[in-house]
Amino acid sequence: MREDDFIVSKTNAKGIITYGNPIFIEFSGYSESELLGTQHNIVRHPDMPRAAFKLAWDTIQAGQEFFAYVKNMAKDGSFYWVFTHITPDFDASRNIVGYTSVRRCPRREAVAKVEPVYRQMLEAEQRAGARDAIGAGTAVLLDLLKQTGMSYEELVFAL
């Protein structure tokens, strides 16, 4: 990503894309009509551990904001790293009606620190097999948090 760019997208409550700003469209490599109405995992990169998305969904479905470094894949197979902030959108009765994500350019040093953590999580998930993958990936992350004595958010902002 470029220093001053913001990649913005919105989804409905089920993660179907309802809006993408021009920079999201540019980086994804898809057209606006290919993106709208499609699950947001269209930009998922296979290097990302499943446990990272489980944590994301658990957090935002609980009505909280979520921060993470994410490796995304464009239509042509190339990748781009982002630092993302996802927030729930509420109606007047505090029901979650969708989510908004704003991503900015991550610091290279932070990406270099996150990459091996995601790799370890992914390897644990692959060893565990599909059924136990999320538990195995989550265990790697929880272990790291225990070692550092930080919460997930503290760790993300310490990178």
Ligand X SMILES: Cc1cc2nc3c(=O)[nH]c(=O)nc-3n(C[C@H](O)[C@H](O)[C@H](O)COP(=O)(O)O)c2cc1C
Give least dist CB 107 to ligand X, A: 18
Burial tier of 94 (Cβ tally within 10 Å: 0-12, 13-18, 19+): exposed
Two tokens at 158? 């310490």
Give least dist CB 44 to ligand X, A: 4
Give least dist CB 5 to ligand X, A: 14
Nearer to ligand X, 40 or 121 (CB): 40
Nearer to ligand X, 34 or 150 (CB): 34
> Which residues in this chain contact ligand X in the complex, by CB under 6 A?
9, 11, 15, 40-41, 43-44, 48, 50, 53, 70, 72, 86, 99-101
Two tokens at 83? 């630092």
Residue showing tokens 């136990």: 132
Distance CA 22, CA 2 (A): 14
Nearer to ligand X, 53 or 140 (CB): 53
Residue showing tokens 């790291």: 144
